Structures are given as structure tokens and as C-alpha cells.
Amino acid sequence: MRQSERRREILNRLTQEPFASVQELQNLVGASEATVRRDLRRLAQDGALKRVHGGVERPETQASHLAGTPLARNKQINVPQKRAIARAAAQLIEQGETLVIDGGSTTSLLCPFLANLDLQVLTNSLPIVEQLLLSPRTRLLVPGGEVFREQNIILSPYEEDGTAECFASKMLMGAQALSPMGLMQADSILIRAERRLMARAEKLIVLADSSKFERKTGLVLCPLSEIDIVVTDAGVSAKDRAMLEKAGVQVVVAPA
């Protein structure tokens, strides 16, 4: 494939997904890693894309976007751990419940385990809606707001988002990080929307792989004491587990 064709294919890929890894682009254009990296360097210099760790992203535009890692990129990180966590979290859900499921790379992996539970699900996640549409026994509700493409979620910065009359027994969500300060997220718009969803649920269940205990972000969504259960993987350290349990959080470790 000629240079111009490779670069056109790379840019076409970024019109479909907000993030692409170097390995994906190698497979796409059938070129070596060195060749692809040269193409990416030139395209970045031209402002056609943005280079990030492990791959490239679309350049920033005037469209609304959130701080944090795009969903497409997050979906490629710690996949076996996230799948095990989703499977373990699904065991905490009972037949016929009403749930709030916040969008994220781990929560989206819950969907295959929910098909036959006759659930009512309020979610801000477009991928979760798409998956659960295939389950006729699941009733779906979505909040009002704006679609944020990089995260594939619907958020509203305003108090009225159509969820005021909803009540759920459980809310399941991911996290940017978990620290002694609490559950952390990267964006203030996301935090405001998630706090409204949390107010609609009786119990909060957080799905977080063990790498989330190593991260630091600047915004606290809620203190640890507001979390009922954290579902994580076997990589969680004794120190981090003790931190959660000291705050009264039940820790569920997903089997590998």
C-alpha cells in the first residue's frame, strides 16, 4: 500500500473510532510498526490526529468532550480482569430488579449476563443500550442530555435530566480511581451527572480492576463510605483491600 493510501486509511479509521492502537493500524494497512509510526508522526505534525500512549486519537474539535480516556481506548485495557469483574458483579443482581448502570468499559461487559433477568435498566451508556436492545425481557430507560461521543454516554449538566421519578435498588458503575479520598472521576460534568444517578439508587456497587488503586485524579465523586460494594480482581493489594474494608466497604474479589 502506498504512503498516501496508508494515511488515508488511518484517517478513515479515526472517523469510525476515537482511538486506534498502533497494532490495529499495522493490521489495517499491512505495514511494519516503524512505517506506521512514521505515518502517524507526519499526520500528527499536520494536525490530522493526536498521538497518545499506545496509539492515536482524533484531534480535538469544537464538539463537546470530557476529560479522561476515551471509551474505545479503555476497552483495550485489562480486558480479562474486567470481564471477570463483570461476571462476578452480575452474581449480585437479582431477578426483576431495577438497576442504574453507568457507562464504562467494565460495566458494558455486564450485558451478556443480564439478558434473562427481567430487569428495568436506567443507563446513560449507548453501548449498553445497544446490547440490551437484543434482550426483549429488559426494559430500558435513558436520561436526557447531550451525547459525548468519545465516551459514548449521554450526560446533562443540568438538574433536570428526566430521571427524577426513577428509583433503583442498585447502581453499578466504574471508576477513574479509588483512593483514601474516595471514588475519583476525571470530569466535573460527569461527576454532576453521576451524582444525580447515585441519588436514584439504594445501593452503590463499584466495578474497578486493581489498576484503579494506582491512579490519581483531581475530582472526588463520593467518599468511600458511600460505596456499598467494590468488585475487583485478584491483583488488589492487601493494603488497598484494608483501605476499603476500614471504610465499611464490602470487597468482592472476582475469580480469574
Shared-domain flag, residues 54 and 126: no
Same domain as 245, residue 143: yes
Q: Which of 42, 62, 82 is the C-terminal boundary of a domain?
A: 62
Sorting pLDDT into bands at 50, 70 and 90, what band is 64? Answer: low
How far is residue 94's CA from residue 155's CA, in Å, rounded to a whole number?
27
Residue range of the domain that includes 17: 3-62
Lowest-pLDDT range, 115-129, 146-160, 181-195, 212-226?
146-160
Residues 175 and 103 in one domain: yes
Are 129 and 198 members of one domain? yes
Strand-pair category, 250-253 with 229-232 = parallel
> Both 103 and 153 in a single domain?
yes
User: Per-residue pLDDT averaged across 154-173, rounded?
Assistant: 86
The region of weakest confidence among 64-68, 118-122, 169-173, 215-219 is 64-68
**Mean pLDDT of the 167-184 span:** 96
pLDDT tens, residue by residue, 75-111: 888 999 999 999 999 999 999 999 999 999 999 999 9
Q: Does residue 67 sit within a domain? A: no
Q: What's the CATH code of the domain at 58?
A: 1.10.10.10
Above 80 in pLDDT, residue 175?
yes
Q: Is residue 246 part of a domain?
A: yes
- Domains in the chain, number: 2
Beta bridge partners of 101: 123, 172
pLDDT band at residue 62 using 50, 70 and 90 as cut-offs: very low
Residue 69 located in a structural domain? no
Residue 47: inside a domain, yes or no? yes
pLDDT at residue 158 greater than cutoff 70: no
Q: Do 46 and 99 belong to one domain?
A: no
Domain end, chosen from 62, 93, 108, is at 62
Q: Is 219 part of a structural domain of the chain?
A: yes
Same domain? 144 vs 235: yes
The reported pLDDT for the residue numbered 15 is 76
Q: How many CB atoms lie within 10 A of CB 27?
A: 11
Residue whose C-alpha cell is 427524577: 164
Verify that 57 and 81 share a domain, yes or no: no
Q: Among 62, 86, 111, which residue terminates a domain?
A: 62
Mean pLDDT of 220-240: 97
Q: Do both 50 and 104 map to the same domain?
A: no
Q: Per residue, what are the HEC states of 126-189?
A: HHHHHHHCCCCCCEEECCCCEEECCCCEEECCCCCCCCCCCCEEEEEECCCEEECCEEEECCHH
Least trusted range by pLDDT, from 38-47, 78-87, 177-186? 38-47
What sign does the dihedral 209-210-214-220 (CA atoms) show? Answer: positive
Is 139's pLDDT higher than 70?
A: yes
Same domain for 54 and 85, yes or no, is no
Residue 68 domain flag = no
Q: Is 230 helix (H, G, I), strand (E, B) or coil?
A: strand
What is the CATH classification number for the domain harbouring 187? 3.40.50.1360
Mean pLDDT of the chain: 90
Domain co-membership, 53 together with 112: no
Q: Are residues 240 and 185 in the same domain?
A: yes
Per DSSP bridges, beta strands 120-123 and 98-101 are parallel
Is residue 226 domain-resident? Answer: yes
